[in-house]
Amino acid sequence: MRIVIQRVSESAVRIDNEIKAEITKGLLILLGIEDSDNQEDIEWLSNKIVNLRIFDDQDGVMNKSIQDIGGDILLISQFTLHASTKKGNRPSYIKAAKPDIAIPLYQAFIETIELKLGKPIGTGEFGADMKVSLVNDGPVTICMDTKNKE
């Protein structure tokens, strides 16, 4: 699993020109899933996300987690995070999981994050044409990949 996390002051996802989900202070997370991903990847990544200290404390130091500030999460499935650009000019998405593998993992990831965060999160819609807007706070943007845990 590969993610791009952005600390936001606001974010929203629109599908067919209607808001599907929106958040204020929190995290916008773009999630890419590949065939070899599993429950272990979900556990590792979800623990990292809810405990990642990237919000400012009273001294302006990034020392607080999403849980500490009571922030929200907007999770968007994005297969293009697994684009390979080694050959030619058209990216290959061969590493991105097909829907029969990706959708159950995406749903399990949502459930795990909600359980660890203690509240529902906002989501996009798997496979939909989504328009995602955000105000990146900082800016703070962090990339993680479960294949690079060590």
Task: Find, among 5, 28, 15, the residue nearest to 122 by Cα.
Answer: 28
Catalytic residue among 80, 85, 141, 146: 80
Do residues 33 and 97 touch, judged by C-beta distance below 8 A?
yes
Do residues 4 and 135 touch, judged by C-beta distance below 8 A?
no
pLDDT attached to residue 88: 87
Q: pLDDT-based confidence at 149, cuts 50/70/90?
A: confident
pLDDT attached to residue 134: 98
Q: What pLDDT digit, counting tens, does each position of 77-112 carry?
A: 999 999 889 888 999 898 999 999 999 999 999 999
Q: Is the pLDDT score of 150 beyond 80?
A: no
Q: Is the pLDDT score of 11 beyond 90?
A: yes
Domain positions in the chain: 2-148
Radius of gyration for the chain, computed over Cα atoms and rounded to the nearest angstrom: 15
Say which CATH topology domain 2-148 has: D-tyrosyl-trna(Tyr) Deacylase; Chain: A; (3.50.80)
Rounded (5°) CA angle 16-17-19: 100
User: Is 80 labeled as catalytic in the residue annotation?
Assistant: yes
